[in-house]
Chain A
Amino acid sequence: MAEQASSSLPPAGFPRGAVIPAALVVLWAALTETGLWHGPLVVSPSQVLAVPFLDASGREIWAGVGASLLRLAAGTAIGAAAGLAAGLFVGMSRRGGLALSPTLHTLRQIALFAWIPLLTSWFGNGEATKLCFVAISTFFPLFLATEQGLRTVPATLREVAGVLHLSRRRTITALLLPAALPSIGVGVQIALISAWIGTVGAEYAIGNGRGLGSYIASARDQFRMDIVIVGVAVLAAVGAGLHYLSRAAIARLTPWNSPRSSA
Chain B
Amino acid sequence: MTPVQSSPAPSLAIENVRKTFTVETRTFAALDDVSLTLRHNEIVSILGPSGCGKSTLLRLVAGLETPDAGALFINGRRPVAGPARDCAIVFQDHRLFPWLTVSGNVDLALDSCRLAPAERRERVRRYIALVGLGSFASAYPRQLSGGMAQRAAIARALVAEPALLLMDEPFGALDSLLRTRLQGELLDIWERNRVTILLVTHDVEEAIYLSDRVVVMQPNPGRIRAVVDVGLPRPRQREETAFIALRKSLLELLS
- Inter-chain contact A163/B111, CB cutoff 8 Å: no
Interface of B is mostly: loop
Q: Which of B90-98, B122-130, B177-185, B193-201 is found at the contact surface with chain A?
A: B90-98
Question: Which residue from A165, A178, A254, A256 sits with its C-beta under 8 Å from B83?
Answer: A165
B99 touches A178 (CB 8 A): yes
Instruction: Tell me if A34 is interfacial: C-beta within 8 Å of chain B.
Output: no
Q: Are A164 and B97 in contact (CB under 8 A)?
A: no
Nearest chain A CB to B127 CB, angstrom units: 14
Type the 1/0 row for B97-123, where 1 means its CB is closer than 8 Å to any CB of A.
Answer: 111100000001101100000000000
Q: Report, as a range, how many residues of chain B touch the other chain.
A: 20 to 34
Measured between beta carbons, the chain B residues less than 8 angstroms from A170 are 108, 111
Contact yes or no, B97 A157, CB < 8 A: yes
Considering only CB atoms, which chain A residue lies closest to B85 in the complex? Answer: A165
How far in angstroms is the closest Cβ of chain B from A65? 37
**Chain A 46-65 interface 0/1 with B at a Cβ cutoff of 8 Å (1 = within):** 00000000000000000000
User: Are A174 and B97 in contact, with the CB atoms below 8 A?
Assistant: yes
Interface residues on A, range: 20 to 34
Binary per-residue interface labels of chain A (154-168) against chain B in the complex, 1 for a CB within 8 Å, 0 otherwise: 001101101111110
Cα–Cα, bound, A164→B156 (Å): 9
* Distance of A262 Cα from B108 Cα, bound (Å): 24
The smallest beta-carbon distance between A230 and chain B, in angstroms, is: 43
Separation of A207 and B21 alpha carbons in the complex (Å): 64
* Chain B residues, Cβ within 8 Å of A167: 111-112
CB of A106 within 8 A of chain B? no
With A and B bound together, what is the CA distance between A170 and B113 in angstroms?
A: 13
For residue B89, which residues in chain A have a CB less than 8 angstroms away from its CB?
163
Q: Which residue of B lies closest to A255 (CB)?
A: B140
Contact B112 A165 (CB under 8 A): yes
Complex contacts, A254 vs chain B, CB 8 Å: 99
Residues of A within 8 A of B244 (CB): none
Cα distance A167–B108 in the bound complex, in angstroms: 10
Q: In angstroms, how far is the closest chain B Cβ from the Cβ of A255?
A: 7
The complex places the Cα of A146 from the Cα of B243 at a distance, in Å, of 57
In the complex, which residue of chain B has the Cβ closest to the Cβ of A164? Answer: B109
* Cβ distance A179 to chain B, nearest Cβ, rounded Å: 8
* B91 lies within 8 A of A156 (CB): yes
Q: With a CB–CB cut-off of 8 A, which chain B residues contact A181?
A: 99
B64 near A256 with CB under 8 A, answer no
Chain B residue numbers with a CB within 8 Å of A160 are 91, 95, 97
Compute how far the CA of A261 lies from the CA of B139 in the bound complex, rounded to whole angstroms.
Answer: 10
Distance in angstroms between the alpha carbons of A157 and B136 in the assembled complex: 22
Q: Closest CB of chain A to B81's CB: distance in Å?
A: 11
Contact present for B62 and A163 (CB under 8 Å):
yes
A170 to B104, CA, bound (A): 12
Which of B64, B111, B141, B156 is in CB contact (< 8 Å) with A159?
B64
The closest CB in chain A to the CB of B137 belongs to: A263
Asked whether B143 is an interface residue with its Cβ less than 8 Å from the other chain, the reply is yes
Nearest A residue to B112, CB-CB: A165
Q: A175 and B97: CB pair below 8 A? A: yes
Confirm or deny: B82 has a beta carbon within 8 angstroms of a beta carbon on chain A: yes
- Tell me if B142 counts as interface (CB < 8 A to partner A): yes
CA A136 – CA B131 in complex, angstroms?
51
Q: State in angstroms the CA–CA spacing of A141 and B136 once bound together.
A: 38
Min distance, Cβ A170 to any Cβ of chain B, angstroms: 5
Smallest CB–CB gap between B102 and chain A, Å? 10
Residues of A within 8 A of B85 (CB): 165
Known A-B contacts A263-B136, A263-B139; the reply to A163 vs B88 at CB < 8 A is: yes
Which residues of A in the span 78-136 have a Cβ within 8 Å of any Cβ on B?
A: none
CB distance from B65 to the nearest CB of A (A): 10
Nearest-CB distance from A102 to chain B (Å)? 30
Name B110's closest neighbour in chain A (CB-CB).
A164
Residues of A within 8 A of B62 (CB): 163
- Identify which of B63, B111, B140, B142 contacts A164 (C-beta below 8 A): B111
Given A163-B83, A174-B97, 15 additional A-B pairs, CB 8 A: A2-B140, A2-B143, A156-B95, A162-B64, A163-B63, A164-B108, A164-B111, A164-B156, A165-B112, A166-B108, A166-B111, A170-B111, A256-B99, A257-B98, A263-B136
